[in-house]
A and B are shown apart, each in its own frame.
Chain A
């Protein structure tokens, strides 16, 4: 999770980076449903981009601290503008789900406009809880494989 202690919260207790982390990792059906509702009274939306493309992923070698490219990750991104509020929204997710990216951009724009704040906050709280629980379940299984080696 993105830890940002320098910027003020964007919504509720969440800073902008945390919001985007949660939205990108959200269950697709849930975020799309939330965006549909948020979109209702947001105003006209102008789509600047909604496409798939590549993000090159650099990696830092642990031996000599060399930055090198691991390879490219396909991502879906959406960039929108709400002229009525003079704001923009942006979303990007790993994979090909253009609707997920668009839903993320809509919610990002709505947060910037202060629109449907309580609904979005509720969605963020619920998704973050789900994501944390899912990771905890996974990591408890991982912890079960911790080994204490003995040598003879």
Chain B
């Protein structure tokens, strides 16, 4: 594809940006705080897709973008490039997770039990329209249990491996600094599992859902059931200059395994992401599992999935089509006109054959 620069319209461009920002009005700290505190699941989604965890900045990005998710993700990714990488934290394992929600749809009685946590899964979805008439909606308070839940929960997959229900795999001995990183290396195919899981962690929620849903509906060869789903907080463990490992704080994460019956037994797919985003991790875990099958359908083919669920590249490519394409389009138009003229010339050719001298004169 050929690109050319266009010139002119500077004033219109400046005024267009002003008009966009004029419609959004003044962005102040109160607006950012309201977004952060009132829309935590949206903030989570933006941080997950941006692959950068900082709720204040995510709220600011949403405020500046007027709620346009792709613009917000782009703003956060751009901000990320201004920051130095200070460290690679210690790897998070499942027993590290400060767990708020942990369920299984495959096994009723799981070690540690099932904890619904914060969810609307079993609730009626009704708009509280009274709020619009000035009647505040105050949810009923939680009636706390007498004893606290355990802060961490055992791994269901580890229990299944111990029961020989699913295959176990040796733990990779890889230093944190040597873990493959798609932000510093090209994504090549067949992708390493580390690249695949990292790409799915930062994938577009809608894109992962669309392809995952297609796979669940029958365009793939797996029928997933949620083996374990967790909403939790993961510690960010850094190394002090004197060598002590400590937690600099916690970040919200989601992780899930889906399970499916295969000819050789049970198989699991996995996904995790920043923030609490159940739809994304269930869809992405399904895509992980489906892409491991022989001859996967395009909807679950690794290359197809990872390229087309990258939110910044896909949205950027989509919207670039609204930018000036005058030269390339004019070239297409010229070609069409030439073809049309050639056809006309061909259909009138017998007449011209009878008047060769006249045609030459016209040319």
Q: Which residues of A contact B (CB under 8 A)?
A: 1-2, 4, 7, 16-17, 20-21, 24-25, 51-75, 77, 79, 88, 90, 92-96, 108, 135-149, 151
Contacts and interface: CB of A to CB of B under 8 A. Distances in A.
B144 A71 contact: no
Contacts of B87: 55-56
Contact of A94 (B182, B241, B249): B249
A94 B236 contact: yes
Contacts of A24: 246-249
Interface in B76-130: 80, 83-94, 98-101, 108-109, 113-119
Contacts of A62: 94, 155, 157-158, 228, 255, 257, 268, 270
A132 to B, nearest CB: 10
B46 to A, nearest CB: 12
B169 A72 contact: no
A55 B238 contact: yes
Contact of A2 (B166, B247, B268): B247
A79 to B, nearest CB: 7
Given A2-B244, A59-B92, 17 more contacts: A2-B245, A24-B249, A53-B86, A54-B83, A58-B176, A60-B171, A61-B272, A62-B268, A69-B181, A70-B92, A71-B273, A73-B251, A77-B86, A140-B146, A141-B142, A142-B149, A145-B101
Nearest to B247: A21
A152 to B, nearest CB: 12
Contacts of A67: 91, 172, 174, 176, 179, 194
B116 A145 contact: yes
Contacts of B238: 55, 75, 92
Interface residues of B, number: 92
Interface of B: 47-48, 50-54, 56-57, 80, 83-94, 98-101, 108-109, 113-119, 142-151, 155, 157-158, 166, 169-172, 174, 176, 179-183, 193-195, 197-198, 201-202, 228, 234, 236-238, 240-242, 244-251, 253, 255, 257, 268-270, 272-274
A59 B249 contact: no
A14 to B, nearest CB: 12
Contacts of A77: 86
A75 B176 contact: no
B172 A52 contact: no
A122 to B, nearest CB: 21
A56 B85 CA distance: 7
B54 A73 contact: yes
Given A55-B89, A71-B202, A2 B246 contact: yes
B93 A60 contact: yes
B251 A57 contact: yes
Given A60-B91, A60-B92, A62-B155, A17 B56 contact: no
Contact of B85 (A53, A66, A94, A137): A53
A68 B272 CA distance: 10
18 contacts: A7-B244, A54-B80, A57-B251, A59-B92, A59-B201, A62-B155, A63-B268, A67-B172, A69-B181, A70-B201, A71-B48, A71-B201, A94-B249, A138-B100, A140-B149, A142-B117, A143-B144, A145-B101
